[in-house]
Amino acid sequence: MGGDRVSVRRRHFEPISRCIVEGRTTQTVASDLEGTLLISASSFPYYMLLALEAGSLVRALALLLAAPFLFLVNAFVSEEIAIKAMIFVTFSGLKLRDVEMRVRSVLPRFYAEDVRAEAWRVFRAAGRRRCVVTASPRIMVEYFGEKYLGADKVIGTELECSKSGRLTGFVKGDTGLLVGERKRDAVVRVFGVEDLPDLGIGGGRSDHHFMSMCKEAYMVPRTKSEPLPRSKLLSPVIFHDGRLAQRPTPFVALLTFLWLPIGFILSLFRVYINIMIPERIARYNYVIQGIKLVVKGNPPGPPKKGQSGVLLVCNHRTILDPVVMAVALGRKVSCVTYSISKFSELISPIKAVALSREREKDAANIKKLLEEGDLVICPEGTTCREPFLLRFSALFAELTDKIVPVAINTKQGVFYGTTVRGHKVLDPYFVFMNPRPTYEITFLDQLPVELTCKDGKSPIEVANYVQRVIGGTLGFESTNLTRKDKYAMLAGTDGRVPSKEEDKKDKNK
């Protein structure tokens, strides 16, 4: 072992910029993650995300308070002790299933924004087998590494789990924390002594041990690097969950937690004061309250007496889309939604009607609401944070030929006002907890009769056309994904909201 240490210290590794990627389709690669495939050498933000989303606000605060201690221990005592302490604070007592779901739904978006382009270029060049080696728990990294980076194997630290399905916060004793020589040993176990990696990529001294065994090895310099465009990854990040909009480094996390009570009080004023104000005045109140509303296009006028209203068909960004649209129009409108809490329905400044998902019943309700005035509908059936449009339900196209497409975009700098597994009743408050929430609403031209079902177009053709028009206006990509796809990925459910009758039956069981 002593001889190995001497050889590791003496071996010189070339910078990754000198690696030639051509002709490596039959080769294998082992690469470190933090500071190598990822630009940031710190994994703290990802622990913070799991502490908050899989744990609680208290756990996240505890991790933040421990950050200075962890930094000092890592710098002057032991990297291994610091990582083990961070693992314990983050994971102890959490259900394994909860952690697995948050890893899939929250982390990929933040990992995807931190991929180092130069290391990715070399990692992808090896076509036979790609392996990610990391000191982070395997459970944190495996999903992103395999689905988005194309890793065939992720070697990470294994965590202890009790018989009840809860993580203890301790590292499994047989393999230990993968730092230094343990990384080397893990690589040998996976590849075998006779077939060690052709390429090794690392970013720090802890990686030298496994890099020294590879036929070629390259170091990633600790210099500023441009992140890989997310579109270059193997899969696009379309769906993600979690409340934080920014990567929670210690400094960002501190600012976020300091802003939290201020933002909550501000959101109460923004929500409840605007409830009592007419829509034509609320727009001026938005300016006073720091809410930016940009209105483009030609908003339709109010329906004439005795005529039915127009159907305002929009993409869905937050729960407040119909409310903000009413403010943009300067008058009351109604809206239909697939799910709304009793409390949200109670405090809504506009009439909100929940759809039952029974086609005939929903169609009758929509026609009735159109007779009363203009109606807002979001045919995606759920929100999407990224620049993509989900498939539009064609029901709206069957009910009227007065269709006005509306393109909506939002900017939420600190918090996301949507959630899948969180408390949906808090969604409007999180939107307005942002220091300067921004809404951009573009009213497009009403569809000519020849593009509606009245002139022989099928409902699906009309729905697809409206989706393309809105997507073209926003620069968003249209997809065939649905609410069911979103909830299957982020929550492991079909996203179906039980009807009132089903709720009663469940309670009576």
Q: Residue 25 has what pLDDT?
A: 92
Is 406 in contact with 444 (CB distance < 8 Å)?
A: yes
Which residues are 157's β-sheet partners? 137
Q: CB within 8 A of 373, min separation 6: which ones?
A: 302, 303, 309, 332, 333, 334
Nearest to 196 by CA among 29, 31, 37: 29
Dist. CA 10–CA 16, nearest whole Å: 18
State the residue for tokens 């259900």: 95
Whole-structure pTM value: 0.90
Question: The tokens 């995606």 sit on which residue?
Answer: 380
Report CA-CA distances (Å) from 156 to 98, 346, 489: 19, 48, 23
What is the predicted pLDDT for the residue at 214?
A: 92
Q: Please give the pLDDT value at position 361.
A: 85
Amino acid at 430: F
Nearest 5°: CA angle at 314, between 311 and 318? 130
Closest CA to 140 of 177, 107, 98: 107
pLDDT(448) > 70? yes
Q: Of 7-11, 114-118, 148-152, 413-417, give the lowest mean pLDDT range.
A: 7-11
Give φ, ψ of 403 to 5 degrees.
Answer: -120, 125
Q: Give the Cα separation of 440 and 287 in Å (integer).
A: 14
The pLDDT of 438-462, averaged and rounded, is 94
Q: Does residue 119 surpass a pLDDT of 80?
A: yes
Residue 210 CA to residue 200 CA, distance in Å, equals: 8
The mean pLDDT value for 455-472 works out to 94
Q: Is the pLDDT of residue 387 over 90?
A: yes
List pLDDT tens digits, range 275-321.
889 999 999 999 999 999 999 999 999 988 878 899 999 999 999 99
* Under 8 Å between Cβ of 405 and 469: yes
Non-local CB neighbours of 489 within 8 Å, separated by 6+ positions? 104, 105, 239
Residue with tokens 């004061």: 273
pLDDT band at residue 497 under the 50/70/90 scheme: low
Question: Using H for helix, E for strand and C for coil, what is the string for 428-487?
Answer: HHHHHHCCCCEEEEEECCCCCHHHCHHHCCCHHHHHHHHHHHHHHHHCCEECCCCHHHHH
How far apart (Å, rounded) are the C-alpha atoms in residues 268 and 265? 5
Query: Model confidence over 262-275: pLDDT tens digits?
Result: 999 999 999 999 88
Flag whether pLDDT at 507 surpasses 90: no
Where is average pLDDT lowest: 40-49, 157-166, 353-362?
353-362
> What percentage of the chain has pLDDT greater than the value 90?
76
State the pairing for strand pair 403-411/438-443. Answer: antiparallel
Among 6-10, 39-43, 165-169, 489-493, which stretch is predicted with the lowest mean pLDDT?
A: 6-10
Tell me the pLDDT band of 455, cut-offs 50, 70 and 90: confident
Q: What's the confidence (pLDDT) of residue 357? A: 73
| pLDDT for residue 341 | 67
Partnered with residue 166 across adjacent β-strands are 95
**8 A C-beta contact, residue 165 and residue 130:** no
The two structure tokens encoding residue 435:
């220091």
Whole-Å CA distances, 189 to 26, 186, 210: 21, 5, 12
On whether the CB atoms of residues 70 and 62 are closer than 8 A, the answer is no
Please classify residue 408 by burial: count the beta carbons closer than 10 Å to its beta carbon, then call 0-12 exposed, 13-18 middle and 19+ buried.
buried
Tens digit of each residue's pLDDT (9 = 90 or more) over 27-73: 999 999 999 999 999 999 999 999 999 999 999 999 999 999 999 99
Taking the C-alpha atoms of residue 167 and residue 406, their distance in angstroms, rounded to an integer, is: 47
Residues in the chain: 509
pLDDT exceeds cutoff 60 at 2? no
pLDDT recorded at residue 10:
47
DSSP string computed for 118-162: HHHHHHHH--SEEEEEEEEEHHHHHHHHHHTS--SEEEEEPEEE-
pLDDT at 11: 67
Question: H or E element: which one contains 351?
Answer: strand 351-354
Q: Long-range CB contacts (< 8 A, 24+ apart) of 488-495?
A: 489/104, 489/105, 489/239, 490/101, 490/104, 490/105, 490/239, 490/240, 490/241, 490/420, 490/421, 491/101, 491/105, 491/241, 491/420, 491/421, 492/101, 495/382
Instruction: Tell me how far apart the alpha carbons of residues 231 and 328 are, in angstroms, rounded to a whole number.
Output: 33
Q: What is the 3-state secondary structure (H, E, C) of 227-251?
A: ECCHHHCCCCCCCCCCCECCCCCHH
Residues 6+ apart with CB under 8 A from 329: 279, 299, 300, 374
If you ran DSSP here, which 8-state letter would residue 220 be given?
P
Phi-psi region of 297 (alpha: psi -120 to 50; beta: other; left: phi over 0): left
Summarize pLDDT for 222-259 with one digit per residue, the tens. 888 889 999 999 999 999 999 999 999 999 999 999 99
**What does pLDDT average to over the chain?**
90
Q: How far apart are CA 398 and CA 94, in angstroms?
A: 48
